[in-house]
Amino acid sequence: MASPPTITCSPCCPFFHVGGLNIQTTPALQHGATVTIHSRFTPDAALTCFERDRPTLTVLVPAIIQAVSEHPAWATTDLSSLKAVSTGSTIVPQHLIDRFVARGVPVLQVYGSTETCPIAVYTRLGGDLTREGSTGLPGLFCEATVIDDAGNELPADKAGEIAVRGPNVFYEYWGMRKPRAKPLHDGWYRTGDIGRRDTDGYFWVHDARRT
């Protein structure tokens, strides 16, 4: 029997946050993976972990990708155990993605929010990663679209607000009797983020304007 994969958890995604708990830790444990937890992030510790613990997957936000890839030990650190790096939480600059890709490690983007629990759109290992800057396709049991201010669906390659619908989407804000704005419109959660999708359904996020 093959040994389970390992996943390195970075403190940039603490367990009280939906990213740290539901993007990396919970799926890894459900899969039977080993989870290596760091008490705090430093570039030295992360790079040492890649060589010592041999993780097959790690989740790094853009600031951490920049920190590890600009460290003096970056060029000599053995990254061969990594099957992929997942990233998200904000718009990810392409030049940061390219730093891992140049080392032979695919970079997978994840888009979502606490309200979408949290993964709504993502790129997949083994999928089409040639669409530069794309955050991928909607997740399992999840729909995503791009709409105008009136809630009408926009055609391909037309920028508008990203909306998400599915059983993963929340239905109300706990304890908020009079929300500032109605969060759901005909079952769609209006994210407030601006993006587009192409004719094949792949999404790009242009502006994350949520507060």
Number of Cβ within a 10 Å radius of residue 94? 11
The per-residue pLDDT for 166 is 95
Rounded CA gap, 204 and 3, in Å?
Answer: 36
Q: Distance of alpha carbon 21 from its chain centroid, rounded?
A: 13
Q: Domains in the chain and their CATH numbers?
A: 1-105 (3.40.50.980), 126-211 (2.30.38.10)
Residue 1 pLDDT more than 80? Answer: no
Residue carrying structure tokens 């970079």: 107
pLDDT above 90 for 10: no
Element (H, E) at 103: none
Residue 211: per-residue pLDDT: 43
Give the pTM. 0.87
71-124: per-residue pLDDT in tens? 999 999 999 999 999 998 888 999 999 999 999 999 999 999 989 988 999 999
pLDDT at res. 26: 85
At residue 186 the predicted structure's pLDDT band, cuts being 50, 70 and 90, is confident
Contacts of 18 (CB under 8 A, 6+ apart): 113, 114, 117, 118
**How confident is the model over 127-160, as pLDDT tens digits?**
999 999 999 999 989 999 999 999 999 999 999 9
Mean pLDDT for 15-31 is 81
CA 206 to CA 160: how far, in whole Å? 9
Q: List beta partners, residue 145.
A: 163
In a 13 Å sphere around the CA of 57, the CA atoms on its Cβ side amount to 21
Residue 192's region, left for phi above 0, alpha for psi from -120 to 50, else beta, is left
Instruction: Read off the pLDDT of each residue in 183-208 and give the average, rounded to a whole number.
Output: 92
Cβ atoms of 187 and 165 closer than 8 Å: yes
Token pair, residue 182, equals 């109605």
**Ramachandran region of residue 197, left (φ > 0), alpha (ψ -120 to 50) or beta?**
beta
Instruction: For residue 92, give both structure tokens.
Output: 């990810």
Higher pLDDT among residues 87 and 211, named by residue: 87
Main-chain dihedrals φ then ψ at residue 125, nearest 5 degrees:
-65, 125
